[in-house]
Amino acid sequence: MIVILAGGTGSVKLVRGMAAITDDIAVISNVSDNIWLHGLYVCPDIDTITYSLAGMLDKKKGWGVSGDTFSGLEQMKKMGQESWFRLGDKDIALHIFRTELLKEGKSLSDVSDMVRRRLGIKAQIIPATDDSLQTMVLTDKGKMHLQEFWVREKGKPSVKSVSFEGLENAKASRIAIDAIRKAERIIVAPANPISSIGPIIALSEIRKEISKVKQKVVAVSPIIGRSAVSGPALKYMKAMEVENSPVGVARYYSDFLGTMIISKTDSRMASQIEKMGIRTLQTNIMMHNRKDEIRLARYLLK
Ligand code: FO1
């Protein structure tokens, strides 16, 4: 089995590429972007992976359902409700279903598994934890949830620090730990190291388990040269004093990482990473299309 530690938009390309090659995948998804809105439990990273593997993802936006409309949201706005987070009409169905099941007492793991099966997805999609864990961003405008920072405030405020609220009481999902123990290879997707992978590896049981099998852990650098492949990664990295380069990411992951895949164009950085005891491989890590996604997934399996 191949385990992939994944966030949302940045991770889907690799997850999709891997799913095109093998069904024996367990995606351990970040949950700290999750947020309660309009009485519904929103799980952006789990849903982005789910919609992507079901062939339903709006690829242009990188989230939500393709061809979705926002009439429900418009109606909410007319009633004076907040509408900065755009839940689409089709997307809302999954939110109502999930929230209902959670209120009946089902765990997020159970619900996510039920949803992926009903959408015909073979890969397992496992929340990193069933407990509450939220990424909070301390900015010059105060402390706010990651979605408030990124979507409502459009990522504009300057970031002072990033923290994971609930971490002391959050336990790693049992299913995630079992998957890690069974895995032939554990892949860290090219995702935001602080806000997507960070909350997964902050869970002490997950970090401990993957540290035990370092030689199986392979990360794809989310950074080429000095530019993040996508999202607000650089702002968070700067605030958390993680150097903006593949070397900085390797250092951040160094206690559990066996191999780092970097771009061929970053070959000059390989020796610095190797000095940390991390093997370095170089290839083309940009994924512009399906062919690239599958090529990189194949490379990771080799
Ligand atoms: N991102 C936005 O930039 N604007 C939105 O209105 C928005 C709505 C949304 C709805 C459902 C969902 O699953 C994701 C959504 N996202 C939206 C993406 C999300 O905010 C982030 O990209 C992830 O949390 C980062 O991984």
Residue 88 lies in a domain: yes
Whether residues 99 and 211 share a domain: the answer is no
Judge whether 283 lies within some domain: yes
Residues 98 and 192 in one domain: no
pLDDT bracket for residue 12 (50, 70, 90): very high
What's the confidence (pLDDT) of residue 226? 79
- The CATH number assigned to the domain holding 291 equals 3.40.50.10680
Q: Rounded to the nearest whole angstrom, what is the distance from the C-alpha of residue 44 to the centroid of ligand 1? A: 6
Of 127, 154, 188, which residue is a domain's last?
A: 127
Residue 93 in this model has a pLDDT that exceeds 70: yes
Residue 250 lies in a domain: yes
Q: Considering only CA atoms, which residue is closest to atom 8 of ligand 1?
A: 86
What is d(CA 197, CA 217) in angstroms, rounded to the nearest whole number?
13
- Cα angle, residue 134 at apex, residues 133 and 138 outer, rounded to 5°: 145
The residue type of 211 is S
Give the pLDDT confidence of 286-298 residue by residue, as tens digits. 999 999 999 999 9
- pLDDT (mean) for 219-247: 86
Last residue of a domain, one of 111, 127, 143: 127
Looking at the fold, whether 182 and 297 belong to one and the same domain comes out as yes
pLDDT recorded at residue 231: 67
What per-residue confidence (pLDDT) applies to 107? 97
- Residue 227 confidence (pLDDT): 74
**Closest ligand 1 atom to 9 CA:** 26
Taking the centre of ligand 1 as the mean of its atom positions, its distance from the CA of residue 216, in whole angstroms, is 31
283 plus 206 within the same structural domain: yes
Q: How many domains does the chain have?
A: 2
CA distances from 62 to 57, 65, 95, 154 (A): 7, 9, 18, 16
Residue 96 above 70 pLDDT?
A: yes
Please give all residues whose beta carbon lies within 6 A of any atom in ligand 1, as ranges: 7-9, 33, 42, 44-45, 47-48, 63-64, 85-87, 91, 147, 150-151, 196
Residues 122 and 185 both lie in one domain: no
Res. 229: pLDDT tops 80: no
The number of the ligand 1 atom at minimal distance from the alpha carbon of 196 is 26
Same domain for 187 and 99: no
Range scoring the smallest mean pLDDT among 28-32, 101-105, 122-126, 226-230: 226-230
Within a domain: 276 = yes
Q: Which domain holds residue 182?
A: 176-301
Residue 59 lies in a domain: yes
Give dist(CA 193, CA 200) in Å, integer. 10
Separation between Cα atoms, residue 57 and residue 26, nearest integer Å = 19
User: Is 180 found in the same domain as 123?
Assistant: no
Residue 33 carries which side chain, given as an amino acid letter?
D
Q: Are 116 and 50 in contact (CB under 8 A)?
A: yes
Clarify whether residues 284 and 184 are in a common domain.
yes
Let me know if residue 148 belongs to a domain.
Answer: no
Instruction: Return the pLDDT at 22.
Output: 97
Looking at 127, 145, 164, the residue that finishes a domain is: 127
| 230 — pLDDT class (breaks 50, 70, 90) | low
Asked whether 115 and 98 are in contact (CB, 8 A), the reply is yes
CATH code of 108's domain:
1.10.8.240
The mean pLDDT value for 139-158 works out to 96
Q: Is residue 169 part of a domain?
A: no
Per-residue confidence (pLDDT) for residue 234, from 0 to 100: 84
CB contact at 8 A, 56 and 66: yes
User: Are 188 and 283 part of one and the same domain?
Assistant: yes
Rounded CA-CA distance 131/206 in Å is 14
Confidence of residue 225 (pLDDT cuts 50, 70, 90): confident
Q: Which of 61, 151, 196, 235 to mutate to test the pocket of ligand 1 (most atoms within 8 A of CB)?
A: 151
Residue 215 within any structural domain of the chain: yes
Residue 228: the pLDDT is 66
Tell me how far CA of residue 236 lies from CA of 74, 158, 160, 183, 198, in angstroms: 32, 10, 8, 30, 11
The answer to whether residues 185 and 265 belong to one domain is yes
68-82, 165-179, 187-201, 234-248: range with lowest mean pLDDT: 234-248
